[in-house]
Amino acid sequence: MTEYIVTTDQLTKDYQSFRALDGLAMHVPKGAIYGFIGKNGAGKTTLMRLICGLHQPTSGGYTLYGVSHRNKRIKQAQQRMGAVIETPAIYSDMTAAENLKVQYQVLGLPSYKGIAELLQLVGLDRTGKKKAKNFSLGMKQRLGIAVALAGNPDFLVLDEPINGLDPQGIIEMRELILKLNREQQITILISSHILVELTHLATHYGFIDQGRMIKEMSAEQLVAACKKYIRMEVTSTKILARILDSLQVEYKILSETEANVFAQVNVSQLTLMLAKENCEVISMQEHGESLESYYVNLVGGAL
């Protein structure tokens, strides 16, 4: 049975006349990197703020480590989380180590033991006396994650952590997220507009639109949904279907003359078999749906 770090049930949040979340149903499995996908204003940040305890739901609810948000123990559950929502919570006039010392004090930790290891983990162990205001955007993001990790959480919430980063910064952030998940066993909820990047990271996906969950799926299910296919135009898809059945090839008939074939087929062999049945091949084109096109087809309209 799957163990979930976060579940939501009919989770709704209203801000005056605006409904940010509308009966959201969500399931973040333990150990996952959960890619949270949606347009600006879809409700991603609102969901993150709610589960961090920064806002309260209007109706519906959520559980964190199996604890209901209505339970007094929810504060204890939230202490097992780390979060970087919108901009990293760092002090610009302090060094990376000083920022972590402040966070250790806020959390009431007994000593500064572990700060050096934390800086090494996020790749900031050589920044010395350099102040955070002189860091690159990628370094600031990694420092924000270090601050979020100060309390040794096993669940990390990251709101658009690769937004605005240069290619090198994106690679460094990707490697850090994978390291935290695989080596530290931290479950990660990550929202991003850079959908291609999520395919390098996510084990699970949630597609949100106008405050509602449109679809949740695993990475394997997404790969299957976005698999490559050959679009064939022939004079008769009835004949094509009969021959593909004999070859035990998966396909989908689109019309009397068009079909999608979901396999690598021997084109010469197939063309000859069709010719024997007086069926002509008019055109063949390879297609493959990307995460972006899958998303657009799912919710309608680009990000």
Parse the chain into domains and list their residue ranges. 4-224, 227-289
How far is Cα of residue 124 from the mean position of the Cα atoms in its chain? Answer: 25
Helix (H) or strand (E) holding 274: helix 267-276
CATH of 4-224, one of 2.60.120.920, 3.40.50.2020, 3.30.70.20, 3.40.50.300: 3.40.50.300
| pLDDT value, residue 175 | 94
CB 68 within 8 A of CB 74: yes
What local confidence, expressed as pLDDT, does residue 294 receive? 82
Distance, CA of 14 to CA of 175 (rounded, Å): 36
pLDDT at 302: 58
- Determine the Cα–Cα distance for residues 214 and 238; give it in Å rounded to an integer: 34
What is the spatial distance between Cα 33 and Cα 177, in angstroms, rounded to a whole number?
A: 9
Burial 236-273 (b: 16+ CB within 10 A, else e): ebebbeebbeeeeeebeeeeeebbebeeebeeeebbeb
Give the angle subtended at the CA of 6 by the CAs of 193 and 60, to the nearest 5°: 95
CA distance 123 to 174: 13
Distance separating alpha carbons of residues 17 and 19, to the nearest angstrom: 7
| Alpha-helical regions (H) of 194-264 | 195-198, 219-225, 237-246
Structurally, at CATH architecture level, domain 227-289 sits in 2-Layer Sandwich (3.30)
Backbone angles phi, psi at 195, to 5 degrees: -65, -35
Q: Residue 182 in 3-state DSSP? A: helix
Euclidean distance between CA atoms 52 and 64, whole angstroms: 9
**Six-digit token pair at 250?**
């998966």
Residue 244: φ, ψ to 5°:
-65, -35
Within 10 A of 220 (CB to CB), how many other CB atoms are there? 10
Q: What angle separates helix 137-149 from helix 96-107, to the nearest 10 degrees?
A: 30
Instruction: Please list the pLDDT of the chain residue by residue as tens digits (303 residues).
Output: 889 999 999 999 999 989 999 999 999 999 999 999 998 889 999 999 999 999 999 999 999 999 999 999 999 999 999 999 987 889 999 999 999 999 999 989 888 989 999 999 999 999 999 999 999 999 999 999 999 999 899 999 999 998 888 889 899 999 999 999 999 999 999 998 778 888 889 999 999 999 999 999 999 998 888 878 899 999 999 999 999 999 998 899 999 999 999 877 888 999 999 999 999 999 999 887 777 778 888 877 655
Question: pTM of the prediction?
Answer: 0.81
User: Which segments within the chain are labelled E, that is strand?
Assistant: 4-15, 18-29, 33-37, 59-64, 67-68, 81-84, 155-159, 187-191, 204-209, 212-218, 228-234, 251-253, 258-261, 281-288
Query: 4-224 with 227-289: one CATH topology?
Result: no
